């Protein structure tokens, strides 16, 4: 169930991912000014530029998977799909992660990725 907090960064996360990550909710309670910084940082770095937003999201997803952060994978994968990434692009990304980070990195997210891309 979505939370009712009203910070702009949380609203943007809900729109992008369908939910607000717990870490944003924590920052809202502990340091709302940090949410402003995070939101501005995302706006600047992830907007279309020399690389389109979708490509930047795919890069971010690859890094998250390589770092084996299972909790972060769902959030970044939703953002990547919402940025327009296809099942085929995500599959190729997983191949690059396998090449650069090995089977444990891909295995750490296989259930989450498998469930989320099944309907793409």
Look up the domain containing 110 and give its range.
49-120
Residue 56 has pLDDT above 90, yes or no: yes
Q: Which residue has the tokens 């295995």?
A: 107
To the question of pTM greater than 0.85 for the whole model, the response is no
Residue 38 has pLDDT above 60, yes or no: yes
Q: What is the pLDDT of residue 35?
A: 85
Same domain, 81 and 30: no
Q: At what angle do helices 110-117 and 70-82 cross, to 10 degrees?
A: 20
- Name the band, by pLDDT with cuts 50, 70 and 90, for residue 2: very low
Q: In Å, how far from its chain's centre is CA 83? A: 10
Residue 79 has pLDDT above 80, yes or no: yes
Q: What is the pLDDT of residue 103?
A: 93
Residue scoring higher pLDDT (6 or 87): 87
Same domain, 25 and 10: yes
| Per-residue pLDDT reduced to its tens digit, 9-36 | 888 888 887 778 888 888 888 888 888 8
**Which CATH number belongs to the domain containing residue 59 in this structure?**
1.20.1290.10
Same domain, 32 and 67: no
Q: What is the pLDDT of residue 44?
A: 93
Same domain, 69 and 84: yes
Same domain, 30 and 9: yes
Same domain, 97 and 57: yes
Same domain, 70 and 116: yes
Residue 109 has pLDDT above 80, yes or no: yes
At a CB cut-off of 8 Å and minimum separation 6, what does 91 contact?
117
* Domain count within the chain: 2
Same domain, 56 and 36: no
């Amino acid at each position: 169930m979505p939370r009712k907090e009203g910070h702009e960064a949380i609203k943007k996360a809900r729109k992008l991912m369908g939910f607000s990550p717990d870490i944003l909710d924590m920052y809202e309670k502990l340091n709302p000014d940090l949410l402003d910084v995070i939101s501005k940082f995302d706006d600047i770095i992830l907007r279309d530029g020399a690389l389109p937003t979708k490509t930047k999201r795919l890069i971010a997803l690859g890094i998250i998977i390589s770092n084996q952060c299972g909790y972060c994978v769902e959030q970044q994968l939703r953002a990547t799909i919402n940025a327009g990434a296809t099942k085929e692009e995500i599959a190729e990304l997983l191949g690059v992660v396998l090449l650069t980070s090995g089977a444990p990195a891909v295995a750490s997210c296989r259930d989450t990725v498998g469930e989320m891309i099944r309907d793409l």
